[in-house]
Amino acid sequence: MKGLWLENNQLQLRTDIAIPEPPPGEALVRVLRAGICNTDLELLRGYYPYTGILGHEFVGVVEQGPEHLVNKRVVGEINAVCGHCRFCCSGQSTHCENRTVLGIVNRNGAFGEYLCLPIENLHPVPDNVPTEVATFTEPIAAALEIQQQVPLHPNNRVLVVGDGKLGQLVAQTLALTGCELLAVGRHQDKLANLEARGIKTGLANAVKDGYFDISVECTGNPEGFAIARRALRPRGTLVLKSTYSGKLSLDASSLVVDEITLIGSRCGPFAPALQLLATGQVNVQPLIHATYPLIEGLAAFEHAQSRGVLKILLDISH
């Protein structure tokens, strides 16, 4: 089969990859559509020493698996877990000590014609959700994880830093809580997507230092972190949603003096994410900038790394 293969930080289109054989408890999924994520771009830059097929945001059709899923469109949670380590047994399976992660850690990903995942990881896509829209399930779930980790109330002052793919989804999901929300970024055209949904936006200089209870950093760069940190009141909460390919410098003393809570946040719940898409409470269509066939995958990655670009999709079925 064909797939986009990463090795030694070099990406290539291979046509000689064996179609995987699903082990017991797993299903074989024919991939229809997949999205290029910032994590994929960070893996190219050496964020983690991964070798294999990239990609973890996908929609596919089950070809081998349980009868109730065969020939159904599905999305899939990316962590394949052991079920018996201390994290699995305590309900924290996304931190499984023995996990593989689709397209990230020891498991070939979605930028190939087929993939395997545990049956328990798969979620049917509602009939009214288009395939290209459903590719956003994984990042919307990641955005919703914030609400699993931090209690949010209408009187909370919340800042989202970053107007890229993740920042847009985080802002849309946080807006549903009724909090006092401000999303800031560098691109007025991107911020307009959020303004169209009634979300208050601004440029970085619109941020009032020490004003916010919670700030969410979605840029993956030191400048974004600095803005998110400065915005917090004492005893505020800083949520980090982005992966960083390099090291991040910070003023640890100020975190101590202001008693700042620092929270890392990544994977989240799929069922509520699919529900938001099915009911139209999150709009992802404006985020899709282009779709490429898999054979043009290298050009797709070049496009995805261009300044100002939001989501690039790969049509794996063509």
- Residue 247's pLDDT is 76
Q: What is the mean pLDDT of residues 194-211?
A: 93
- The tokens describing 72, both together, are 């159904």
HEC string of 131-191?
HHHHCCHHHHHHHHHHHHHCCCCCCCEEEEECCCHHHHHHHHHHHCCCCEEEEEECCHHHH
Q: What is the mean pLDDT of residues 256-278?
A: 95
Q: What is the mean pLDDT of residues 167-182?
A: 97
- Residue 203's pLDDT is 93
How many Å apart are CA 76 and CA 81, to the nearest integer? 13
CATH topology of domain 143-264: Rossmann fold (3.40.50)
Q: How many CB atoms lie within 10 A of CB 81?
A: 22
- Residue 48's pLDDT is 82
- pTM (global) more than 0.85: yes
How many Å apart are CA 18 and CA 105, to the nearest integer? 19
Q: Name the residue ranges covered by the structural domains of the chain.
A: 3-124+284-315, 143-264
Q: Are 263 and 237 in contact (CB under 8 A)?
A: yes
Q: What is the pLDDT of residues 222-240, one digit of tens each?
A: 899 999 999 999 999 999 9
Q: Which residue has the higher pLDDT, 49 or 231?
A: 231
- Residue 307's pLDDT is 86
pLDDT at 46 over 90: no
* Percent of the chain whose predicted confidence (pLDDT) is above 70: 99
Query: Among the CATH numbers 3.30.70.100, 3.30.2400.10, 3.20.20.70, 3.90.180.10, which is that of 3-124+284-315?
Result: 3.90.180.10
- Residue 106's pLDDT is 96
pLDDT at 297 over 80: yes
pLDDT at 35 over 80: yes
| Dihedral over Cα of 183, 184, 186, 192: its sign | positive
158 vs 171, 190, 291, 318, CA distance in Å? 10, 19, 33, 42
pLDDT at 195 over 70: yes
Q: What is the pLDDT of residues 149-173, one digit of tens each?
A: 999 999 999 999 999 999 999 999 9
Confidence tier at 27 by pLDDT (50, 70, 90): very high
Per the prediction, the chain carries an average pLDDT of 95
Q: Are 268 and 274 in contact (CB under 8 A)?
A: no
162: left (phi over 0), alpha (psi -120 to 50) or beta: left
pLDDT at 317 over 90: no
Q: Are 133 and 57 in contact (CB under 8 A)?
A: no
- Residue 138's pLDDT is 96
| Dihedral over Cα of 144, 150, 154, 156: its sign | negative
Q: What is the pLDDT of residues 59-116, one digit of tens each?
A: 999 999 999 999 999 999 999 999 999 999 999 999 999 999 999 999 999 999 999 9
Shared fold status for 3-124+284-315 and 143-264: no
Q: Which of 277, 249, 236 is nearest to 75 (CA)?
A: 277
Q: What is the pLDDT of residues 241-265, one digit of tens each?
A: 987 766 788 888 999 999 999 999 9
* Percent of the chain whose predicted confidence (pLDDT) is above 90: 89
- Residue 245's pLDDT is 63
